[in-house]
C-alpha cells in the first residue's frame, strides 16, 4: 500500500495497476461536463427570463412553446422535481403541473 510518509514509495498512479474508471452520476461521460452544464444549452437561457416566471395568473404559453424545442427539457424537469422548484416553468411544466406529476409518481 502507498504511504504518504514514505518518500521512496512509488505513487499509486506510477504503478502498473489497472484503475477502475469513475462513472458519471448524471448521465454524461464527458469528464469536463458538470451536473448543471445542461443549463448552458437550454433555450430559456437565450430568451427573456420573465416569460418563465410569469405573474400569478399570467400566461405560460410563451415559455412552454420555447420548452417544446429545447434539447435539455428532460434534464430541466428532472432538476426542478429533484430540487422542489416552486416557481416558474421548468421542463415545460408549471409548478401546478409539476405537483400533479409528483402526486402521480409517488
**Going residue by residue through the chain (106 aa), what tens digit of pLDDT does each one get?**
444 455 666 655 555 655 555 444 445 555 555 678 899 999 999 988 899 999 888 999 999 999 999 999 999 999 999 999 999 999 999 999 999 998 887 6
Annotated binding site for [4Fe-4S] cluster: 44, 67, 70, 76
Q: Which three cell numbers stand for residue 29?
A: 461521460
Rounded distance, CA 2 to CA 4, Å? 7
Residue 69, φ and ψ in degrees, nearest 5? -100, 10
Query: Domain locations in the chain?
Result: 35-105
DSSP secondary structure letter of residue 97: H
**DSSP percent split of the chain into helix, strand, coil, nearest 5:** 40, 0, 55
What residues form the annotated binding site? 44, 67, 70, 76
Amino acid at each position: 500500500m502507498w504511504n504518504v510518509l514514505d518518500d521512496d514509495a512509488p505513487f499509486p498512479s506510477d504503478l502498473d495497476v489497472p484503475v477502475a474508471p469513475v462513472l458519471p452520476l448524471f448521465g454524461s461521460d464527458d469528464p469536463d461536463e458538470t451536473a448543471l452544464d445542461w443549463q448552458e444549452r437550454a433555450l430559456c437561457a437565450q430568451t427573456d427570463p420573465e416569460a418563465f416566471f410569469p405573474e400569478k395568473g399570467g400566461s405560460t404559453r410563451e415559455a412552454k412553446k420555447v420548452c417544446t424545442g429545447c434539447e435539455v427539457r428532460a434534464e430541466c424537469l428532472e432538476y426542478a422535481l429533484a430540487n422542489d422548484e416552486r416557481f416558474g416553468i421548468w421542463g415545460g411544466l408549471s409548478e401546478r403541473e409539476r405537483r400533479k406529476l409528483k402526486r402521480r409518481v409517488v
